[in-house]
A and B are shown apart, each in its own frame.
Chain A
Amino acid sequence: MTTAPSVPTLRVENLQTHFPTRDGIIRAVDGVSFEVNAGEILGLVGESGSGKSITGFSILGLLDPPGHVAGGSVLFKGEDIVAAAPQRLRQLRGARIAMIFQDPMMTLNPVLRVDTQMIEAVRAHNKVSESAARDRAIETLRAVGIAAPEERLKSYPHQFSGGMRQRVAIAIALLNKPDLIIADEPTTALDVTIQGQILYEMRKLCRETGTALIWITHDLSVVAGLADRVMVMYAGRIVETGSVAEVLEQPRHPYTIGLIGSVPGGTARGHKLFQIPGMAPPPLNLPPGCRFKNRCGFADAACDTMPEMAELSPAHWARCHHPRPAQLAANLAEGGVA
Chain B
Amino acid sequence: MLVFIIRRLLQSALVVAVMSVLVFVGIYLIGDPLAILASPEASEIDREEIARALGLDRPLWEQYMTFIGSAFVGEFGKSFVFGQPAMGLILERMPATLELAITATLMAFFIGVPLGVYAGLRHESAGAQAIMAGSILGFSLPNFWVGLMLIMIFAVQLGWMPASGRGPTTEVFGLQLSIFSAKGWHHILLPAITLALSKCALIIRLARATAREVMLMDYVKFARAKGLSERRVIGVHILKNIMVPVATVTGLELGALIAFAVITETIFSWPGMGKLLIDSITQLDRPVIVAYLIVVVFMLVAINLVVDILYSVLDPRVRLGGAQ
Q: Do chains A and B touch in the complex (CB under 8 A)?
A: yes
CA distance A103 to B316 in the complex (A): 20
B316 & A94 in contact (Cβ 8 Å cutoff): no
A112 & B237 in contact (Cβ 8 Å cutoff): yes
The stretch of B74-82, B166-174, B224-232, B285-293 that contacts the partner chain:
B224-232
When distances are taken between beta carbons in the complex, the residues of chain A under 8 Å from B223 are: 109
B222 to chain A: closest residue by CB: A107
A108 & B315 in contact (Cβ 8 Å cutoff): no
A172 to chain B: closest residue by CB: B226
- Of the listed residues A90, A101, A106, A109, the one surrounded by the most CB atoms of chain B closer than 10 A to its CB is A109
B228 & A110 in contact (Cβ 8 Å cutoff): no
CA distance A92 to B224 in the complex (A): 11
Q: Besides A95-B227, A109-B223, 10 other CB < 8 A contacts?
A: A92-B227, A93-B225, A98-B225, A98-B226, A107-B219, A107-B222, A111-B315, A112-B236, A120-B226, A121-B226
14 A-B pairs within 8 Å (CB atoms) are namely A62-B224, A62-B225, A101-B218, A107-B222, A109-B219, A110-B315, A111-B244, A112-B240, A120-B226, A120-B232, A121-B226, A121-B227, A124-B229, A172-B226
B225 & A108 in contact (Cβ 8 Å cutoff): no
Distance of B181 from chain A, by nearest CB (Å): 39
Interface residues of A (CB under 8 A from B): 60, 62, 64, 90-95, 98-99, 101-103, 106-113, 120-121, 124-125, 156, 158, 169, 172
Does B217 touch A at the CB level, under 8 Å? yes
Does B320 touch A at the CB level, under 8 Å? no
A103 & B218 in contact (Cβ 8 Å cutoff): yes
A90/B229 contact (C-beta < 8 A), A109-B237, A111-B316 known: yes
A125/B227 contact (C-beta < 8 A), A101-B218, A112-B237 known: yes
A101 & B221 in contact (Cβ 8 Å cutoff): yes
CA distance A158 to B319 in the complex (A): 12
Does B241 touch A at the CB level, under 8 Å? yes
B227 & A94 in contact (Cβ 8 Å cutoff): yes
A169/B218 contact (C-beta < 8 A), A109-B237, A111-B314, A124-B232 known: no
A107 & B218 in contact (Cβ 8 Å cutoff): yes
When distances are taken between beta carbons in the complex, the residues of chain A under 8 Å from B221 are: 62, 64, 101
When distances are taken between beta carbons in the complex, the residues of chain B under 8 Å from A169 are: 222
A155 to chain B: closest residue by CB: B316
B222 & A108 in contact (Cβ 8 Å cutoff): yes
A118 to chain B: closest residue by CB: B226
CA distance A99 to B221 in the complex (A): 10
B319 to chain A: closest residue by CB: A158
Does B65 touch A at the CB level, under 8 Å? no
Mask for B189-233, Cβ within 8 A of A = 1, else 0? 000000000000000000000000000111101111111110010
When distances are taken between beta carbons in the complex, the residues of chain A under 8 Å from B227 are: 90-95, 121, 124-125
CA distance A113 to B244 in the complex (A): 15
When distances are taken between beta carbons in the complex, the residues of chain A under 8 Å from B232 are: 120, 124
A-B residue pairs, 5 tightest by C-beta: A94-B227, A106-B218, A94-B226, A93-B227, A156-B316
CA distance A249 to B227 in the complex (A): 39
Mask for B303-324, Cβ within 8 A of A = 1, else 0? 0000000000011110000000
When distances are taken between beta carbons in the complex, the residues of chain A under 8 Å from B240 are: 109, 111-112
Distance of A112 from chain B, by nearest CB (Å): 7
